[in-house]
Amino acid sequence: MEEFTSSQFGVLRYDSDEVIQTPCGLPAFESERRFLAIEKPENAPIVFLQSLQTPDLAFLTLPVTFLVPDYEPNFTEEDLEALSWEGAEAPRIDQDVLCLAMVTVNPDHGATANLMAPLVVSLANRRAIQLIQAEGYSHQHPLGEKQKEEPC
Amino acid sequence: MLIIRRRLGEAVLIGDDVEIRVVEVGSGRVKLGISAPEEVLILREEIRVAGEQNQAAARTATPENLRRLLAGLNT
């Protein structure tokens, strides 16, 4: 068991195989390499992503399928390599990978989720990358309207 | 924005140190080769957008926003 003291959750105890590794960091947080996903029943479906390097760095995230049930991620060769993906076909959400969209609360836009660049975590090895998709999904998908059809 | 047409193999020079060359042309896509000094940051546009969004998201993870978000999702 390892321990880490976070700003929001106090002392966290976890097994090393729970650690999510981001070998390439995240855009704007390139040196962050280790995270823990924290799920509490009273906060479902929100998943917290807590940095195991910076105590006050955490993200609120939502599973992409909660927002867009038929979400289709597009992986490039480089993405699959970064995940050490060995399958013949593309990874499937919830079976092979976890796909989490980071939530932002902004005075102008309200709460939005970044569906353009979800965090993709391999369930096999806990490696993760932020998958950046140039088109198809919005980086500021509005929340609270999940019943609406995704435009275009 | 300056708009310039280039054919396969042709290049654009920016300042004294930056060169962008069209290396491959495919349907709806172009492959660009870029030479620049190490200290010049070269980024796909969407990576910068993702970085800015991440920074905004990092500021968002407060107990107050968690409560707001949960309330909004459960209505």
pLDDT tens-digit profile of A90-101?
999 999 999 999
Contact B73 A144 (CB under 8 A): yes
> Which 14-73 residues of chain B touch chain A by CB within 8 A?
44, 46-58, 60-61, 63, 65-66, 68-70, 72-73
Share of chain A above pLDDT 90, in %: 74
Instruction: Tell me the pTM.
Output: 0.83
In whole angstroms, how far apart are CA B26 and each of A78, A106, B29?
A: 19, 39, 5
pLDDT tens-digit profile of B5-63?
999 999 999 999 999 999 999 988 899 999 999 999 898 888 999 999 999 999 998 88
Cβ of A115 under 8 Å from any chain B Cβ?
A: no
Q: Which residues pair with A97 in a beta bridge?
A: A93, A122
**pLDDT computed for residue A152 by the predictor:** 52
**pLDDT computed for residue A135 by the predictor:** 78
Which residues on chain A are in Cβ contact (under 8 Å) with B58? 29, 57-59
Residue A17 makes CB contacts below 8 A (sequence gap 6+) with A126
